[in-house]
Homo-oligomer: A and B are copies of this chain.
Amino acid sequence: MPKKRVRLAQRVVSESDRVAETLAARFREAGVWVANLMSSPGSGKTTLLEETARRLGSDLRLGVIEGDLATDRDAARIRRTGVPCHQINTGGGCHLSAQQVAEALDHFDLARLDVLFIENVGNLVCPAEFYLGERRRVVLASTPEGDDKPVKYPVAFHHADCVVLNKVDLLDATGFSLEAFRGYVHGVKPGVPILELSCRTGQGLDAWLDWVRAERRAAAK
């Protein structure tokens, strides 16, 4: 990023952080556990949330905020699972802002939610710079993207509380090395949990649901 743009962006980020802190306080007071999901386009964020809604929606009261440059396709997919969802369209914007999330909350009754997922704009770079008041940050990768993404996009992975590797059903077809990927992830963020799964086959989804339940319980204490 050109130096001038970095300086300007930093000033905007600090304003955004102030809004995010007020969001975090609202979430704590309402007892809502919030995760901010980020990944490249097409890693499977929406599909993971659809599967999560179908499998967890009877135990916990879920809500979803969808972020996209354009269309409400993802929100429509989530709503078909019965989970309330609000779509944010950023226009050309490359990430969700705390301000946008604050406005989206007008469409939810936080007292009626246990868990809120915020699906960020598909972009493995910019969303990592913006705190949205979330309790946990989840970074998704998928096998067709290649196993070296953690070292090529280190900022996103460095700030991850959980790394989900989706599309493990395509491991053989893509020549993806699990061993290399795990090494790269832990080189950038030592000890972060890595959940390897396939939304298509269902493999590994239980471990993801267990992680969500455990994190929510721990936050509620």
A interface residues with partner B (beta carbon < 8 Å): 1-2, 4-6, 8-9, 12, 16, 40-42, 68-71, 73, 90-95, 97, 99, 121-126, 129, 142, 144-146, 148-149, 151-155, 167, 169-170, 173-174
Contact = CB atoms under 8 A, between A and B. Distances in A.
A70 B125 contact: no
Rank and list the top 9 A-B pairs by shortest CB-CB distance, nearest first: A42-B145, A1-B93, A144-B144, A94-B125, A8-B8, A40-B41, A40-B40, A5-B12, A42-B146
15 contacts: A4-B12, A8-B8, A40-B40, A40-B41, A40-B145, A41-B124, A42-B149, A69-B152, A70-B153, A121-B125, A122-B124, A142-B144, A144-B170, A144-B174, A169-B173
Contact of A129 (B4, B92, B145): B92
Given A94-B125, A123-B124, A170-B173, A2 B99 contact: yes
